Amino acid sequence: MDNALSIDTGLVRKILTEFIHSEIGRAGFSRAVVNLSGGIDSAVSFTLAVGALGPQNVLAVRLPYKTSSADSLEHAQVLIDQFGCPSATIPITEMVDPLIALDSEISDMRKGNIMARARMIVAYDQSEAFKGWSLAPVTRPRSCLGTLLFTAIQPARLTPPAICTRPRCASWPVHCKFPMSSLPNPLLPTCGPAKQMKGSSALPMRM
């Protein structure tokens, strides 16, 4: 990996887990909800949340669409089983399809945007049900920053330093001891209907 993108993963993990623990606690919470897609971005967010709050206090939510890859569910389940966290699987197909059906020429980009917003609606709903903070990765394709971890709860958003970008995430699977050997196509992001939506800034992962 390019040295310019290299980070001390141990130090960064310590900084981010302390940030998550302190900020969620300051807001009066001790739990978190993470939408777990099976990709590296949500896997890193999930791992940091577990490290900060403990596995019993992190709800992993899988939100498949009808065309989502079966691998994405399996990869997410591997991490859920590894950490022993509570989990829920909530399909979003019935939420998304009525809006998609309004336009017969709707693009994949628009479909992907609708799915992403539907997943955040579920995340906020589950955060209320679980009484936990909604924790998610954010992608910034236009600035080529990749993934920036943030915590979000209505109406506030708290953003730590931009030190967890997607290119830098490539070193996390080994450091965080993700069960890579058990995954046939390790931790690839899936957003359905296509594995990679046009306009995304995903970069190849180097282990």
Domains of the chain with CATH codes: 3-182 (3.40.50.620)
* Site of tokens 């628009």: 110
pTM over 0.75: no
Would the pLDDT of 3 be above 50?
A: yes
Would the pLDDT of 153 be above 80?
A: no
Comparison of pLDDT for 185 and 135, the residue scoring more: 135
